[in-house]
Amino acid sequence: MKPNSENFSKNSSNPDQLSHLDDKNQAQMVDVSGKAATRRQAIALGRVRMSTETLAKIQAGDAPKGEVLSTAKLAGIMAAKQTSQLIPLCHPLPLHKIDLQIVADPQLPGYEIRALVITKAETGVEMEALTAVSVAALTLYDMAKALEKSIEIQSIRLLSKTGGKSGDYQAAPETKQG
């Protein structure tokens, strides 16, 4: 059989059908070729909780594996750029800005990791921002596990996104659990 567009399933125009499933309920990459490239932005957040002693050692630059925070930041940036290779069905996107911040939070105790990702494309960058935070948190754990095995990665979530057909999103403020 000669390949042509008729041999391939089409995205359904049925709004009740999930966009990543074809008419046979098989996984598919969403066709975004008909969408306009617009500015898209996403911000994600995660936390890494640890003992006050571990936090102090990282802050002092006294971790056995070396510079924890710059390594974690670089890993998060690199991961955002590789998202389409890590998450099935994600589109490869031209990323115009990746800003990853890792800030000490003595009240946690630990670190808050925040990623801002911006593109001008046909689809959003939520997965890139979430991937940046996730891999930065995993790297922070890896770099500090010799100090403490019980470090916890917590609360990775999307804080906001702008652009695209679905419009803007802003997460509800977090409530303190006691």
Catalytic residue numbers, as ranges = 142
Quick one: which of 106, 114, 108, 117 has its CA closest to 46?
Answer: 114
Between CA 151 and CA 113 the distance in angstroms is: 14
Look at phi and psi of residue 155 and say left if phi exceeds 0, alpha if psi is from -120 to 50, else beta.
left
Between CA 159 and CA 128 the distance in angstroms is: 13
86, amino acid identity? L
Burial class (CB in 10 A: 0-12, 13-18, 19+), 68: buried
> Cβ distance 129 to 43 under 8 Å?
yes
Query: What residue spans of the chain are helical by DSSP H?
Result: 52-59, 68-81, 83-86, 126-144
State both tokens at 13.
């125009």
